[in-house]
Amino acid sequence: MKIRVQQIGATALILSIVVLGNPVHTTAQDMTASTKEPAATMQSVTPSTENSVAAVGTNHSLIAVLEEALKHKPKDRGLRNQLAQMYLAEGQYDKALTLFEKSMKHGSLIPESYNNRAMLYYKMKRYAEAKDDLAHALQLEAKDHFPDSTVNMTEGLMGNILAEEGDYSGALPYFESIYKRTPSNVINVFNYAQALEMTGKREAAKAVYMKLVGQERSLGSSLMTKVQARIDGDWDTFTEWL
């Protein structure tokens, strides 16, 4: 499934800066819930035109607030990351990259630092650089204990990039790892089933697809259509990576 970036809670973020004067520090998990967009359930909901226009206006207002706040606190890494994530959500990739790199240069490097920039590289289709950042994140995660959500973000993005490049055998171990870690997440289940299917393991894939029966509401109609096709023995439709 393609990864999309969503900005959530813009009003609350404005209040935290303007009223409290103490911005919340955000990480890659704030951009994505898992790696499907993040194991992230990254299902995008298409709002009405009116809501879309309102959302764009809110994002632009928030960017202006963050830009002004950063002028007064230029060394605040949390503000830089928040603004970078907003630039990313708005497609202003060059501005986002400048801020992410500045944060990485002047702050401690943790998995989220690499994940943030890897997500940006992914959106820019600079896959080699994204994979390099994710490899660094995985090395850090192997040395210390990090939350499942952080590891899922890293492995899920790596798996999605490899899958989009057609390297399903390379992607499979990442999706299997996420599935074993958080088997209750329907997107993780779907990704793992897809990876099994794409590597020719149809029987194993079907068994995993079966776990998604009754999950229409959580999974979404488009993905559930593929699930039902596989359960019915149809392997000839929806052959692309979703």
Q: How far is CA 217 from the centre of its chain?
A: 20
Residue 40: the pLDDT is: 39
Residues 142 and 183 in one domain: no
**79 and 188 co-located in one domain:** no
- Same domain assignment for residues 188 and 139: no
- Identify the pLDDT of residue 53: 33
pLDDT the model gives residue 57 = 54
Residues 189 and 217 both lie in one domain: yes
Let me know whether 135 and 178 are in one domain: no
DSSP 3-state assignment of 125? coil
Residues of the chain with pLDDT under 70: 1-58, 107-108
Residues 15 and 94 in one domain: yes
pLDDT for position 145: 84
Tokens of 171: 């992607």
Residues 195 and 168: beta-carbon distance below 8 Å? yes
Q: Are residues 110 and 11 part of one domain?
A: yes
Residue 89 lies in a domain: yes
* 158 falls within a domain: no
Q: Does residue 106 form part of some domain?
A: yes
CA distance from start to end of the chain: 4
Residue 159 lies in a domain: no
The number of folded domains in the chain is 2
Closest to 34 in 3D by CA, of 170, 212, 181, 211:
181
Give residue 1's pLDDT.
Answer: 56
Domain encompassing residue 51 = 1-149
pLDDT at 110: 84
On whether residue 114 sits in a domain, the answer given is yes
- Using an 8 Å Cβ cutoff, are 81 and 25 in contact? yes
Q: In sequence order, which residues have a C-beta less than 8 Å from that of residue 236 and are 6 or more positions away?
A: none
Q: What CATH number did the domain enclosing 61 receive?
A: 1.25.40.10
Whole-Å CA distances, 104 to 10, 114, 187: 24, 8, 30
Q: Indicate whether 161 belongs to any domain.
A: no
Classify residue 160: in a domain, yes or no: no
Does residue 96 share a domain with residue 39?
yes
- Say what the pLDDT of residue 6 is: 38
Same domain for 124 and 197?
Answer: no
User: Length of the chain in residues, anyone?
Assistant: 242
Same domain (yes/no): 220, 105: no
Rounded Cα–Cα distance for residues 149 and 30 (Å): 10
Q: Give the whole-angstrom CA distance, residue 37 versus residue 7.
A: 12
> What is the pTM (predicted TM-score) of this model?
0.72
CA distance 140 to 189: 26
Rounded Cα distance between 104 and 162, Å, is 25
Q: Are residues 7 and 108 in the same domain?
A: yes
Q: Residue 11 class from Cβ within 10 Å (0-12 exposed, 13-18 middle, 19+ buried)?
A: exposed
